[in-house]
Structure 1
């Protein structure tokens, strides 16, 4: 079976998009998703995105990390999908319903409402998510936010000085986080600007993470460190994050199509 794909990226966070809204594809398991995402023997991507029909929204978006694990949300992929769809849409994800709207060379995405309860992150046991009483090798008292997937956020003086490639997987897999966790290290530059690096669960060190930018901005706003709309600068570029008065998060930023191709399904299944 020959299958078409679209390679896209948002600030360097790259995706292989499979559109199964009009043509049904075989079921995707963890091994197949991981094989397609492999950069040496597959097409290569941070996340594999599968678009399907939905009874609850205009369409459904499923998200697989490059290790094959399925997750509930991806902000950068949401912008890429908005650009691909070409019109405002409501999108069903495992993290909840979101709204996307393409604009120029990018898109705005209504990411929904943040969740702060310990069991919504989720954590293994109850604690204050505004400042978790835990630490790892000099990183301590992070905030925790769920924005469709779980994040912890550490504020540091210099994001580049943190060995995120080594401490990230340790925190990601800590028993405190039963569903693992995305790890964010951030520096507040001023009240309208944050610098951010992210270790994504199941994907590793990434050039950009849309949900990480949302979680970090909201946590900084919750602590009164920044205004309710900020620029978040990641290694791949900038996103604008607004936490509106109705409690919903809106992320705005670029997305790009890189190329299109096709492959034999049996090569990866």
Structure 2
């Protein structure tokens, strides 16, 4: 069987996209999905995303990490899926879609920037050296010195597999402040088990965490990720963050077929 696929990337976070509106894809085949995401023996990607029909919205997002397992929300993947849906003419410039963490609203501009509304965030745990919160996926946020030379894979894995988060683990973000409303971050992603060039839910978590810590008073925060730039905006009412929006580019890379 030949599988038609599309490759998209959002600030270097790359995904294999499949139009599964006819429900043909073998969704429980973990080995196959991991193979398709493999950069040496497959297509290559941080994850695989299925676009499916949905009765309550424009489409449904089904997301898999590169290890082949279905996972929690992926912000950059959601933004790329909106661009994919527009290319397929499922939507025009406005979308509502369902994902594992609920309904999301999004828009795409003529220059390819996708704005994606994330879930509201109320439960932010501030600890002595780190902040933990869930922005659709769980995130550990930690300020570090010398971010450029910091060993993200080694230190991220220690936290991800450590006693702090148990078997489920957490994504881990290491952060450095650039100016009053700009932060640089590098992210270790569970499921990929390595650093990725960008993480949308991670950027969202960092923006909220830095506001909670008093590092910025801005309601629109600029995030420098390894693969480019993202912006996270929100409204804050005491400890509740609403209208949380992740904005950045989502770009088509190539289309192809692969035998499965």
TM over 0.5: yes
1:23 positional shift: 5.2
- Give the counterpart of 2:104 among 98, 108, 111: 98
User: How many residues align structurally?
Assistant: 246
The unaligned stretches of length 5 or more in structure 2 are: 87-91
Q: CA deviation at 1:79?
A: 1.3
**1:75, distance to aligned residue in structure 2 (A):** 1.1
What secondary structure does 2:107 align onto?
A: strand
Q: Which residue of 2 aligns with 1:255?
A: 250
Distance 2:47 2:23 in 1: 21
Q: How does 1:25-44 map to 2 (within 5 A)?
A: 25-44=25-44
Structure 2 SS opposite 1:248? strand
Cα distance in 1, alignment partners of residues 211 and 141 from structure 2:
12
The 5 A counterparts of 1:14-163 are: 14-22=14-22, 24-86=24-86, 87=92, 88-103=94-109, 104-116=111-123, 129-131=125-127, 141-163=129-151
Could you say which residue in structure 2 is the equivalent of 1:228? 219
Q: Give the Å deviation of 1:164.
A: 1.0
User: What corresponds to 1:120 in structure 2?
Assistant: none
Distance 1:206 1:28 in 2: 25
Partners of 1:256 and 1:28 lie apart in 2 by 28
- Residue 223 of structure 1 deviates from its aligned partner by 1.7
Q: Secondary structure at the match of 1:221?
A: helix
Looking at structure 2, the residues matched to 90 and 115 of structure 1 have their Cα atoms a distance apart, in angstroms, of 23
d(CA) in 2 for partners of 1:108, 1:41: 33
Task: Using structure 1 for the length normalisation, give the TM-score.
Answer: 0.87
Alignment of 1:199-238 (within 5 A): 199-203=188-192, 204-226=194-216, 227-238=218-229
Give the alignment partner of residue 189 of structure 1, picking from 165, 178, 183: 178
Kept in 2, the 8 Å contact 1:8–1:258? The answer is yes
Q: Using the TM superposition, give the Cα deviation of residue 96 of structure 1 relative to its aligned residue in structure 2, in angstroms.
A: 2.1
Q: CA deviation at 1:186?
A: 0.5
How many angstroms does 1:48 deviate by?
0.7
Which consecutive aligned stretches of 4+ in structure 1 deviate over 4 angstroms post-superposition? none
Ranges in structure 1 where 5+ consecutive residues have no aligned partner = 118-128, 134-140
Find the counterpart in structure 2 of residue 180 from structure 1: 169
